[in-house]
């Protein structure tokens, strides 16, 4: 298999200086399964882009950087999927809260024939503050009862692997994350993962959720109040589009 690895980036100078891209680069450098590592910058205002261009593009030949205007994490991932060249696409959060080595678990899922394989964090959410745990529990309940996204415990883990052809079909059928608009400050676009998986189920794609190692990494990009509001707003929008009949009503994989 050939994999395009997508790394969304927004003002990640601190994480980059911790060596996260070195870990990714060293892991993928001699691994023939990874053909490219696409860092999609979401309009960073710090030194992230300069550091990547100066220190990583030449050192790691598989690395490439794409610069988006500031639209939020969702559209950075979407841009990466559209630019990817491989049959399989993976995305990982740049903080490596889930170590890059855990990809081996996702790859096993694809070998079983699944179209989408997602990492799942444990209920303990090791190291996460209580507010993050409350937000996670609330999301599970709301997703389950409001839009019927059942059978998926952790939609938000930033560690996913999927067939590119499936991802492109899903993107074509998104409604909440169809139109681009400027983001205000950091935006983790939590609702994107939910709509992505919701549409995947509508299209009949097979999804496997696999437990992965995860440890909380403090980040300025996730705030309890803002992220909770954005997530709830997006879920309500998904429900609205579903009630209008705007999502596909397919029962078989396209």
CA distance 205 to 253: 6
What is the enclosing helix (H) or strand (E) of 214? none
Closest CA to 163 of 123, 97, 113, 128: 113
The whole-chain average pLDDT of the chain stands at: 87
Name which of 86, 98, 92, 95 is nearest 125 in CA terms: 98
pLDDT value of residue 155: 85
Q: What is the pLDDT of residues 49-101, one digit of tens each?
A: 999 999 999 999 999 999 999 999 999 999 999 999 999 999 999 999 999 99
Residues 149 and 194: beta-carbon distance below 8 Å: yes
pLDDT at 252 over 50: no
Q: What is the pLDDT of residues 126-175, one digit of tens each?
A: 555 565 555 555 566 666 656 777 778 888 889 999 999 999 999 999 99
Position 179 scores a pLDDT of 81
CA distance 212 to 224: 23
What mean pLDDT is predicted for residues 11-40?
Answer: 97
- Which CATH fold would you assign to the domain 3-243? Spore Coat Polysaccharide Biosynthesis Protein SpsA; Chain A (3.90.550)
Q: Supply the DSSP symbol for 98.
A: S
User: Any idea which residue has 């001699």 for tokens?
Assistant: 30
220-247 mean pLDDT: 80
Look at residue 232 in the predicted model and tell me its pLDDT: 84
């Amino acid at each position: 298999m050939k994999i395009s690895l997508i790394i969304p980036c927004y003002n990640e100078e601190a994480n980059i200086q911790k060596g996260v891209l070195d870990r990714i680069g060293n892991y993928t450098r001699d691994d023939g399964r990874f053909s490219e590592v696409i860092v999609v910058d979401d309009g960073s205002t710090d030194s992230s882009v300069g550091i990547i261009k100066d220190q990583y593009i030449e050192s790691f030949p598989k690395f490439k950087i794409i610069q988006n205007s500031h639209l939020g994490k969702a559209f950075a991932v979407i841009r990466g999927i559209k630019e990817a060249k491989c049959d399989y696409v993976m995305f990982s959060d740049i903080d490596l809260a889930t170590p890059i080595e855990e990809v081996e678990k996702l790859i096993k899922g694809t070998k079983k024939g699944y179209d989408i394989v997602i990492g799942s964090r444990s209920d303990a959410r090791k190291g996460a503050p209580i507010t993050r745990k409350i937000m996670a529990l609330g999301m599970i309940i709301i997703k389950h009862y409001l839009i019927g996204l059942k059978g998926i415990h952790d939609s938000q883990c930033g560690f996913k692997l999927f067939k590119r052809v499936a991802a492109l079909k899903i993107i074509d059928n998104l409604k909440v994350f169809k139109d681009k608009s400027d983001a205000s400050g950091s935006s983790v676009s939590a609702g994107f993962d939910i709509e992505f998986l919701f549409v995947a189920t509508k299209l009949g794609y097979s999804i496997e959720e696999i437990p992965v190692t995860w440890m909380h990494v403090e980040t300025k990009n996730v705030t309890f109040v803002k992220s909770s509001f954005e997530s709830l707003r997006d879920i309500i929008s998904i429900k609205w589009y579903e009630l209008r009949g705007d999502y596909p009503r397919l029962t078989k994989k396209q």
